[in-house]
Structure 1
C-alpha cells in the first residue's frame, strides 16, 4: 500500500483542510487531530482512502487509524504538505481539552496519568504470570507446583517475582512521577514523593489491617498530635492527591521566590509541606475513600456477580468509545492492593476478544471490498492481542450489529467470570495472553468465559447479518456489504 502525496492530501482535505486544524500529532497507530470544527470532517471520504483503517473522536481529539509503521510516514508528509508545524502530544491535548466538559477533563486527566505508566504495569503483569506458571499448584503436577518438583528452579522464580513485584511495590513512585508531570510540576519530585509514601521505615500498608486489630499501629507524636506511621504501598488516591498538591505548591513557590535561590527553597519547602499534609490529612482521608470504593465494588460482585459481570462486560466497549475506561485502571490497582486481585480486568479481556471475534466474522460476511476484508482480519488479530480500536472503529461500529454482538458476548463472558470469582493477580495483556495474569486455579472458568466471548459474537454477527438482509432495507444493505461500505 503506497504512501504518496495525493493520498495524504486526500486525508488533509477530508478532515476539513489545514485551516481546520489547530494541531496534529501521532501515536503508534493513529493520527491525532485537534480540530476547530469536527463537523467539517467528511468521514465517508476519509474512510474510502486506502491508507485509512477507521476514525473516531475521543477526549476532544479526532483520531484517524493508519497503522503501526505507516502512521509516522504519513505524519511527516502531512506536515510537509500542510505547512503546519510539528506538535507534541501535549500540544494536541491542550488544544483538545478546551472543548471538554468537567467530567471529560477529569477522565482525560486520569488517562494522561496512567497511560504513561502502563508499560511498566503490563510488563510486571506478564512477569507475574510467568511466576504463576512456576509456582502455581496443579498446573504441571497434581497438587504440586513446578518448583516443588524441580527445586533448582526456585531461585529463578524468586528473581522473576522480585522483578515483577517492583512496579507494584513502588507504584506510588510511578504514579507520583506521571501525576506531578501532568499537573505541571517537576516529575523527579513526584518520584521522591512516591518513595516517601512507601519508605521502609513506615509500616507496610498490607499489615495495617492486622495492626489495627492488635492495636499495634505505630504513631508519630507531633506536639501532642498522633499521626499514624504507615506507608501507602499499592495505593492510588493518596499519591494522586498528594502529587496535585505538590505540583501546585511548586508552581506557587516558583512564582514568588527569586530565581537565584529557587534551588535552595522551592523543592525542600514543597516536599516538606506536601509530606506533612500527606501523612496528617491526605493519606488517611484518601485511604478511607479508596477502601470505601473497593468495598462497594467488591460488595456488588460478591452479592450480585451475574449482574456485575453482565453490566461491566456489556458496557466496557462503550467506556472505551467515551474514553472513560481509563478511570477503571485506578480501581483495578486499588483492588489488587486491597483484596489481592482484580475481578474487573479479566472481564476487560472478555470485551476485547469479543470485539475481535465480531470483526473476524465480518471478514467472511463482507464480499468484495478487499480493503475492508483485510482490515477485518488485521483488526481482529489486534483485538485478540488487546488493542481494540481498529476493530471497533474501523469495522464493528461502522456496521453497528457486530458491535452489539460483541457487547452481548462480552456480557455473557463477563457474567461467567464473575460467577466463578475469577481474579487477576495483576494487569497484563488484555487479550488471548491475558490468562498469564489470572490466578492459575481459575484458568478453567477463564478459558470458558473466553470461548463464550469469542463464539457468541462470531455467531451473532452472522445471525444479525441474515436479519439485515431480510429487512425492508435488505437491498440497500446487500449493496453496502458487497461494496464494503
Structure 2
C-alpha cells in the first residue's frame, strides 16, 4: 500500500477523471500528464490536496508539482487506480507536441537540445567561478591575483581552468551530440560533426577579427571556389543547422541503402556531404547571423541598460511559465563564446532568488500551516536554483506574491545592467550564482541580491497585510 490512495483518487477527480487522461509520466518532482480537455481541471480542488504543491500547463503538458521521491509513489498509485500504461517522458513529449503551434514546437526543440547538456555547462560554470576567484586581480591583494602572491596555486588554477573550459571550447561537439539525437540521427556522428567545426587545423573563431584586418584568413580552393578555413568556436547556430542537415540526410540514406551496406556507406556519405555544406554554406551564413544577433542584443543593452535590465529582469519569470526562457540559453552561450561573458544570465540568477523571497514572505504572511511548510521548502529550493515549487506551488496561486517577485527582479535587473555585471559562464541560478559572476562585478551583483532578497519579501508581507485589513 502506497499510503497515497485517497489523495491520488482526489487528484484524478480534480483533473476530470480517468477518461480525461491520455498519457501520464513523471520527472524528478512533477507528474506530467496529457489531458484531453484541460478545461475540466478544478484547479482549486486540485491544489487543496496535501500532496500537491502546485500545478501548471506548458508545452501541451499538464504538470502537477509533487516533490522529489514522493512523485514516483504518487505516479505508481495513479497507474494502479487507472487503466493507464506506464509511459516514458519521450512518449508524453511526442503526444504533447501534436497540440503545439509552430513557435511552441521551435521552443520545445531548443529546450530538448539544450536541457540535456545543462549539467556539463553548469559544472563548467561552477569550476570557472573557482578559477576566477584564484586568478582575479584586486580580489584579495591590490593589483595582484591570489596566484600571483601564492604561486604554488598557479598550476592548480591552470588545471581547473582547463577542466572548466573544455565544455565551452568543444561546445559544438556537445550540442552536436544532443541536436542530432533530437533530430533522429546518430548522436556519435553529431559529436564528430561538432568537433569537426572546431578542428585545430581551422583558424580559431576568436582570431577571425584580427586575421580579417590583416588579410591573413586561410582558405581552401575548391575548383576555383575559395572557402574560408575558419572554425566555429563558441558559435551555436552553425552546429544547430548542420546537425539538422546531418540527421535528415542520415535518415534519408538509411531508407534507400540496403542494410548490408549501411555501415559502409551511410555515415561516410552523410558526414562528408554535411561537412562540405557546413563549410561552404551553413557556417558562413550562420556565423554572420549569429554575430549580428549578438551585436544587436549587446547594442540594445548598451544603448538603454536601464530599460533592458528592467524588462528582462521583470519578464524572465513569466517567460519560464511559457517555456520561452529556454531560447535564451542559446543566446547566453553565444554571448559567452563571442564576447567572453553574458549580462543576461545574472538576471536569471536574481529572478530565481526573487521567487524564493516572495515564497518566504508568504510563510510569514499566511496562517495556513500547510502553506507555511510549502513556502519555506520551496523558498530554499528557489534560493538554490530550482524555482518551480515556489513559482507554481506558492507565488502564482497568490498573484501578489508573484508580482512582488517580478517587481524585485526587475529593479535588481535594472541595477546590475546599469553597472555592467556579467557572468563568465552559466552556473547555478540562485544564491550560488555569484560564483559565476566576474569577481570585479561581485559588489554590484551582491547589491542586486540584497534587492531581490528584501523587495519581494517585504512587498509580499505588506500586500498580504493590506488584503487582510480590507
- 5 Å matches for 1:313-352? 313-352=313-352
12-21 or 302-311, which deviates more:
12-21
CA distance in 2 between partners of 1:133 and 1:331 (Å): 25
1:346–1:424: 8 Å Cα contact kept in structure 2?
yes
CA distance in 2 between partners of 1:79 and 1:263 (Å): 41
Consecutive unaligned residues in structure 1, runs of 5 or more: 475-485
Match of 2:102 in 1: 102
CA distance in 2 between partners of 1:18 and 1:276 (Å): 53
Q: Does residue 463 in structure 1 map to residue 462 in structure 2?
A: yes
Residue by residue, what CA displacement relative to the aligned partner does 1:32-91 show, whole Å, maximum 9, x if unpaired? Answer: 111111112222221111111000001111111011121122222222322322111111
Q: Does residue 392 in structure 1 map to residue 391 in structure 2?
A: yes
Q: What's the secondary structure of 2:143's corresponding residue?
A: coil
Match of 1:61 in 2: 61
Residue by residue, what CA displacement relative to the aligned partner does 1:410-435 show, whole Å, maximum 9, x if unpaired? Answer: 01100111000000000000000001
Residue by residue, what CA displacement relative to the aligned partner does 1:76-134 show, whole Å, maximum 9, x if unpaired? Answer: 22223223221111111111111111111111110111000000000000000111111
CA distance in 1 between partners of 2:11 and 2:133 (Å): 47
Q: What's the secondary structure of 2:64's corresponding residue?
A: strand
Q: Does residue 444 in structure 1 map to residue 443 in structure 2?
A: yes
Match of 1:376 in 2: 375
Residue by residue, what CA displacement relative to the aligned partner does 1:268-292 show, whole Å, maximum 9, x if unpaired? Answer: 1111111101000000101111111
CA distance in 2 between partners of 1:34 and 1:281 (Å): 40
2:365–2:465: 8 Å Cα contact kept in structure 1?
no
Q: What's the secondary structure of 2:226's corresponding residue?
A: strand
Match of 1:409 in 2: 408
Q: What's the secondary structure of 2:396's corresponding residue?
A: helix
225-234 or 457-466, which deviates more:
457-466
Match of 1:200 in 2: 200
CA distance in 2 between partners of 1:22 and 1:257 (Å): 37
Tell me the CA shift for residue 453 of structure 1. 1.4
Q: TM-score, normalised by structure 2?
A: 0.98
Match of 2:431 in 1: 432
CA distance in 2 between partners of 1:321 and 1:247 (Å): 31
Q: What's the secondary structure of 2:31's corresponding residue?
A: strand
1:3–1:74: 8 Å Cα contact kept in structure 2?
no
Runs of 4+ in 1 over 4 A off after TM superposition: none
Tell me the CA shift for residue 399 of structure 1. 0.8
Match of 2:232 in 1: 232
Tell me the CA shift for residue 14 of structure 1. 2.0
Tell me the CA shift for residue 139 of structure 1. 2.1
Tell me the CA shift for residue 143 of structure 1. 2.1
Residue by residue, what CA displacement relative to the aligned partner does 1:338-362 show, whole Å, maximum 9, x if unpaired? Answer: 1110000001111111111111000
CA distance in 1 between partners of 2:3 and 2:352 (Å): 30
Match of 1:189 in 2: 189
CA distance in 1 between partners of 2:146 and 2:214 (Å): 37
Consecutive unaligned residues in structure 2, runs of 5 or more: none
Tell me the CA shift for residue 467 of structure 1. 3.2
Match of 1:165 in 2: 165
Match of 2:29 in 1: 29
Match of 2:20 in 1: 20
Q: What's the secondary structure of 2:293's corresponding residue?
A: helix
Match of 1:79 in 2: 79
Q: Does residue 264 in structure 1 map to residue 264 in structure 2?
A: yes
Residue by residue, what CA displacement relative to the aligned partner does 1:308-345 show, whole Å, maximum 9, x if unpaired? Answer: 00000011111001000000000000000111100000
Q: TM-score, normalised by structure 1?
A: 0.95
CA distance in 2 between partners of 1:87 and 1:361 (Å): 38
Tell me the CA shift for residue 19 of structure 1. 2.1
3-12 or 372-381, which deviates more:
3-12
Residue by residue, what CA displacement relative to the aligned partner does 1:223-281 show, whole Å, maximum 9, x if unpaired? Answer: 01001111111110000000001111111111111111111111111111111010000
Tell me the CA shift for residue 295 of structure 1. 0.8
Q: What's the secondary structure of 1:316's corresponding residue?
A: helix
Tell me the CA shift for residue 9 of structure 1. 2.1
RMSD (Å) for aligned C-alpha atoms: 1.1
CA distance in 1 between partners of 2:362 and 2:66 (Å): 20
User: In the comparison of the two structures, how many residue pairs are matched?
Assistant: 469
CA distance in 2 between partners of 1:393 and 1:372 (Å): 13
Match of 2:70 in 1: 70
1:312–1:411: 8 Å Cα contact kept in structure 2?
yes
11-20 or 217-226, which deviates more:
11-20
Q: What's the secondary structure of 2:397's corresponding residue?
A: helix
CA distance in 1 between partners of 2:36 and 2:245 (Å): 33
Q: What's the secondary structure of 1:398's corresponding residue?
A: coil
Q: Does residue 281 in structure 1 map to residue 276 in structure 2?
A: no
